[in-house]
Amino acid sequence: MIGTIRSIFRRGFEWVERPLDWLFGPALNPIAQLGALGFFFFWIVAVSGIYLFIFFDTGIERAYESVESLTNNHWYHAGVMRSFHRYASDLMVVMLVTHLLREFAYDHYRGTRWFSWFTGVPIIWLLYTSGITGYWLVWDKLAQYVALVTSELLDWLPIFGEPIARNFVSTGTLTSRFFSLMVFMHVAVPLFLLFAMWIHILHISRPKMNPPRALAVMSLIALVVASIWNPAISQGHVDLAKAPVAVGLDWFFLPLYPLTDLWGNGAVWAFLGTFSLMLGLMPWLPPLRRAKAAEVDLAHCNGCARCAEDCPYEAIRMVRRSDGLPFPTEAQVNASLCVSCGICVGSCPSSTPFRRSQELRTGIDLPDFPLQRFRELTVETAESLDGKKTRILVFACEHGGGAGHLTGVVPLPCVAMIPPSLIDFVLSKKLADGVAVAGCAKSACFNRLGVAWTEQRFAGERDPYLRTRVPRNRLKTIWASALEASRFEGELTAFAKQVAAIPEVPPALPQTIISALSSEPRRMPEGSVP
């Protein structure tokens, strides 16, 4: 059932993301930058909050007056800052909720990713607490409503000796100390929030904490425009003798407050508790079945650190050499963090199919899908294309649009598992006329960095490079999501036509060599080429 829900959400995101990919380009697509935008809006809230604090007075009467003064008398700077503070907080909620739903939709929360998901749950609580304490400080009718409902909610818990809500039902019960307490909370809780955000990204390699500059600038300008168009204003001074019966509610921070009237406080607490518990347990409902973690073969590892550099999950670290070979370091895999994406295999300079060893071994390999088997499968799949007019071999990510293609496909956990030398191998040995590498949509790589690393390796910008001798007109990358299978097929057909039009189609690899590569490992004479 969870799988069906996930699939529906994924379709929804695809439906929104792909047009945005077209408009923004994959690098600027806001949906692919939700975490970074969340950080960005946090900083806007922090800076604008510090600015506003200069003008804020923590007195029982002065609080409202000071907010009114900064809003009306200094609207051109402090008023705009107030709107910045308010709307950036709302945008943070939007980013958080969308980020959570997207990670769920793309199944980015199970397996080793449980840590980021689980540590995200307190972030929700802290963000909402930060926002709610902020609303109290304005001390307008909305603040009165928030104070009443929040205190009634808290009073439902059997932890306070005296009902807190008593303070907000008649005049004379509240003192200025209350505002000092609220200011303290409104500063302390966001600090905890920042700390939780830092914990949240601890297990992520190269976390995106800043959006691309163009997106940040556009967001900032749009926020200015929106703040001037509809500035944040107060809703009239609190009158504790009168009930705040009608308020302009912030539906991002306070959507549950009306439910206290409909359901009652106990039911709202039950909902919050169940929701948080379910959210926290989701990575194990059901747990992700993982292939065995990558393993290091020290005999083939020279400690170059490329695997550690490329791993998107911080699952590999370089440690002091333990086998006496003359290299300072060796790679070490933390199995609990490894998702078996194979990106490390693709990054290892030892992962070359041209190697003449008896059994193809590499410095770091996947036990369930070793490089040896990868090469065999490549050769077998290429062989299955024999007889076709144009033989296009497809290396397809199992999460992308090419995974469902029927013929000539080598399925992979991630296209960045392909050592660039394997492309060279296929084309130079004339196993196929062309190679298509089909990954996830550019802005939604399942393994975060697979698309980027593949592109950089093919472009000669990242080790290991794709050699210059590889004819680029026989190589095609197709970035399409699982729901873009028809686009994938279209691009593949066009690529096949393009390859067919290339003059002098190279002859196929002699059958003897193909047989040798497909068969069981056997000892090769020294110096022979497989």
Partner 1 sequence: MTGYLRLVGQFVAILLLFSAVVAFANWPIYRQTPEGSAIVVLTFIHGADRKGECRQRSPEEMAKLAPNMRRTLDCPRGRRPIYVELDLAGKNIFSATLPPTGIAGDGHSRVYRRFVVPAGQYEIVARMRDTPRTEGFDHERKETVTLAREQMFVVDFRSESGEFVFR
Q: Which is nearer to partner 1, 223 or 436 (CB)?
A: 223
Q: Which is nearer to partner 1, 28 or 440 (CB)?
A: 28
From 87, 136, 178, 179, residue interacting with partner 1 (rule: CB under 8 A): 87
The interface region with partner 1, picked from 229-237, 281-289, 312-320, 520-528 by CB under 8 A, is 229-237
- 71 exposure class (CB count in 10 Å sphere: 0-12, 13-18, 19+): buried
Rounded distance between C-alpha atoms, residue 364 and residue 258, angstroms: 56
Q: Which is nearer to partner 1, 224 or 299 (CB)?
A: 224
Q: Is 17 in the site for partner 1 (CB under 8 A)?
A: no
> Could you tell me the smallest distance in angstroms from the CB atom of residue 461 to partner 1?
24
> Could you tell me the smallest distance in angstroms from the CB atom of residue 133 to partner 1?
17
From 14, 17, 250, 484, residue interacting with partner 1 (rule: CB under 8 A): 250
Q: Is 247 in the site for partner 1 (CB under 8 A)?
A: yes
From 46, 124, 209, 249, residue interacting with partner 1 (rule: CB under 8 A): 249
Q: Is 94 in the site for partner 1 (CB under 8 A)?
A: yes
Binding residues with partner 1: total (CB under 8 A): 48
Q: Residue 421 carries which side chain, given as an amino acid letter?
A: S
From 27, 47, 101, 226, residue interacting with partner 1 (rule: CB under 8 A): 226
Question: Is residue 308 within a helix (H) or strand (E), and if so which, with residue range?
Answer: helix 306-310
Rounded distance between C-alpha atoms, residue 279 and residue 121, angstroms: 7
Rounded distance between C-alpha atoms, residue 276 and residue 256, angstroms: 14
Q: Is 463 in the site for partner 1 (CB under 8 A)?
A: no
Q: Is 76 in the site for partner 1 (CB under 8 A)?
A: no
Sign of CA dihedral 399, 401, 403, 404: positive
> Could you tell me the smallest distance in angstroms from the CB atom of residue 165 to partner 1?
5
Binding mask 19-48 for partner 1 (x = CB under 8 A): -x--xx---x-x------------------
Alpha-carbon 72 to chain mean position: 41
Q: Is 223 in the site for partner 1 (CB under 8 A)?
A: yes
- Token readout for 179 is 């505002």
Q: Is 470 in the site for partner 1 (CB under 8 A)?
A: no
What φ, ψ does residue 46 adopt, rounded to 5°?
A: -65, -50
Give how far Cα 101 sits from Cα of 107, 437, 463, Å.
10, 29, 35
Rounded distance between C-alpha atoms, residue 521 and residue 155, angstroms: 72
Q: Which is nearer to partner 1, 83 or 129 (CB)?
A: 83
Q: Is 101 in the site for partner 1 (CB under 8 A)?
A: no
281-340 residues in contact with partner 1 (CB under 8 A) are none
Binding mask 131-170 for partner 1 (x = CB under 8 A): --------------x------x--x--x--xxx-xx--xx
SS3 235: coil
Q: Is 86 in the site for partner 1 (CB under 8 A)?
A: yes
Q: Which is nearer to partner 1, 232 or 393 (CB)?
A: 232
From 248, 367, 490, 510, residue interacting with partner 1 (rule: CB under 8 A): 248
Q: Which is nearer to partner 1, 94 or 516 (CB)?
A: 94
> Could you tell me the smallest distance in angstroms from the CB atom of residue 398 to partner 1?
32
For residue 413, whether the previous peptide bond is cis, meaning omega lies within 30 degrees of 0, is no
Find out whether 392 and 434 touch, Cβ atoms under 8 Å.
yes
> Could you tell me the smallest distance in angstroms from the CB atom of residue 225 to partner 1?
6
From 54, 246, 285, 406, residue interacting with partner 1 (rule: CB under 8 A): 246
Sign of CA dihedral 370, 372, 375, 378: negative
Q: Is 241 in the site for partner 1 (CB under 8 A)?
A: yes
Q: Is 213 in the site for partner 1 (CB under 8 A)?
A: no
Long-range contacts of 403-411 (CB under 8 A, 24+ apart): 403/438, 403/482, 404/482, 404/485, 405/438, 405/485, 405/488, 405/489, 405/492, 408/381, 408/382, 408/384, 408/432, 409/381, 410/374, 410/377, 410/378, 410/381
Who contacts 530 (Cβ-Cβ below 8 Å, separation ≥6)? 353, 354, 356, 513, 516, 517, 524
Q: Residue 181 carries which side chain, given as an amino acid letter?
A: L
Inter-helix orientation angle 80-105/114-138, to 10°: 150
> Could you tell me the smallest distance in angstroms from the CB atom of residue 150 to partner 1?
13
Rounded distance between C-alpha atoms, residue 200 and residue 369, angstroms: 31
Q: Is 90 in the site for partner 1 (CB under 8 A)?
A: yes
Which residues, listed in sequence order, are joined to residue 479 by a DSSP beta bridge?
A: 439
165-194 residues in contact with partner 1 (CB under 8 A) are 165-166, 169-170
With tokens 């991002």, the residue in question is 252
> Could you tell me the smallest distance in angstroms from the CB atom of residue 252 to partner 1?
7
Q: Is 12 in the site for partner 1 (CB under 8 A)?
A: no
- Residues of this chain that bind partner 1 (CB under 8 A): 20, 23-24, 28, 30, 86-87, 90-91, 94, 145, 152, 155, 158, 161-163, 165-166, 169-170, 218-219, 221-223, 225-227, 229-230, 232, 240-252, 257-258, 261
